[in-house]
Amino acid sequence: MHAIRLHEFGPPENLRFEQVDDPVPAAGQVVIAVRAAGVHLLDTGLRRGEPSGPLQPPELPAIPGREVAGVVERLGDGVDESWLGRRVVCHLGPASQGYAEKVATDTARLHEIPDGVTPEVAVAMIGTGRTALLVLEAAQLTADDVVVIPAAAGGLGALLVQAALDAGAFVVGLAGGAEKAATVRGRARRARLQA
């Protein structure tokens, strides 16, 4: 299989597309044929060799990527056969390995992707979506709130804008430049139309 590997910390140019061995699932694991992988700010810091939150830079060479969506194509010992062929999304945790055609992971990390949801959307929700849900749970927004959302044109900002509008809050979305501001206004209009 092919994977994107990092041999030296630094800029994106240090990532290399290479041939590597296929992963072998351990007991309780599956191998996923990857259809989409997430790329986040945290990943770029790790690529540069900087600690990102609780994560330390990986030992090199490394295959980055902590979130993937795809199809289960191989089972390890003790795994329920019903997983075979299912569309799944998962967060790989600090183990990474997601920038590859295939990845092995524990079944406890798997979430089935509902019909009608693309792998790209599933990956966005397993990463950015989880963060948005935690923020919203802590915020407990109501129609009486005024909410200021920095970086409202980004992935997390877009989810927060939609959720704040759904709660009936008055939303102020901050975005850098006219193009990003137009993106935020368009998303807000679509969110109101869907409500």
- What total of structural domains would you count in the chain? 2
Between CA 2 and CA 83 the distance in angstroms is 24
Domain-embedded: residue 130: no
User: What does DSSP assign to residue 126?
Assistant: I
Confidence of residue 21 (pLDDT cuts 50, 70, 90): very high
Domain-embedded: residue 126: no
- In terms of domains, do 13 and 74 share one? yes
pLDDT of residue 180: 67
Between CA 10 and CA 39 the distance in angstroms is 16
- In terms of domains, do 8 and 102 share one? yes
CATH of the domain at 170: 3.40.50.720
- In terms of domains, do 101 and 145 share one? no
Distances 46 to 101, 102, 185 between C-alpha atoms, Å: 21, 21, 33
Domain boundary among 117, 152, 169: 117
Q: 3-state SS string over 82-116?
A: HHCCCEEEEECHHHCCCCECEEEEEHHHEEECCCC
> What is the average per-residue pLDDT within 134-152?
89
Confidence of residue 11 (pLDDT cuts 50, 70, 90): very high
Of all residues in the chain, the percent with pLDDT exceeding 70 is: 93
**Res 139 pLDDT > 70:** yes
Q: Which domain holds residue 155?
A: 140-194
Confidence of residue 58 (pLDDT cuts 50, 70, 90): confident
Domain-embedded: residue 190: yes
- In terms of domains, do 18 and 99 share one? yes
> Which single residue is written with the structure tokens 């800029």?
11
pLDDT of residue 192: 56
> Which single residue is written with the structure tokens 């590997």?
5
pTM: 0.76
